[in-house]
Amino acid sequence: ELKVEQNPLFLSMQEGKNYTIYCNYSTTSDRLYWYRQDPGKSLESLFVLLSNGAVKQEGRLMASLDTKARLSTLHITAAVHDLSATYFCAVVPPGTASKLTFGTGTRLQVTL
């Protein structure tokens, strides 16, 4: 059974600092997604990573994928308060018709 683990589960960081969230998964995967969820809100798609070595950047967030290590990272550069949210990675195993398996989520709190 596919397991997807994220760490840390909770991250409190100061504005202006850098940090990385890690997403490990236990079997091979066709693709990996990163989502953001604000409290009481829906999930917003941030990145789709399709191949080994894929790197995508949007603003202060950069996601990468290492399929050999079964690891994805979400790097936050110079954090701002607006980035406070819960971040989920989700993995699709091959041949499972888009059956997203979500990680545990990382709750990010950016303080002034």
Partner 1 sequence: DTAVSQTPKYLVTQMGNDKSIKCEQNLGHDTMYWYKQDSKKFLKIMFSYNNKELIINETVPNRFSPKSPDKAHLNLHINSLELGDSAVYFCASSLSGVGEQYFGPGTRLTVT
Residue 3 engages partner 1 in binding (rule: CB under 8 A) = no
Distance (Å, rounded) from C-alpha 94 to C-alpha 92? 6
Half-sphere exposure of 87 (CA within 13 A, CB side): 27
Contact stretch for partner 1 (CB under 8 A) within 21-29, 51-59, 68-76, 103-111 = 103-111
Residue 97 engages partner 1 in binding (rule: CB under 8 A) = yes
Residue 88 engages partner 1 in binding (rule: CB under 8 A) = yes
Give the alpha-carbon dihedral of 23, 25, 28, 32, to 10 degrees: -40
Residue 86 engages partner 1 in binding (rule: CB under 8 A) = yes
Residue 104 engages partner 1 in binding (rule: CB under 8 A) = yes
Contact stretch for partner 1 (CB under 8 A) within 18-26, 41-49, 63-71, 75-83 = 41-49
- Residue length of the chain: 112
Task: Give the number of other CB atoms < 10 A from CB of residue 38.
Answer: 12
**Out of 33, 61, 63, 110, which residue is the one contacting partner 1 (CB under 8 A)?**
33
Nearer to partner 1, 26 or 104 (CB): 104
Please, are residues 59 and 65 in contact by the beta-carbon 8 Å criterion? Answer: no
The residue count for binding partner 1 (CB under 8 A) is: 22
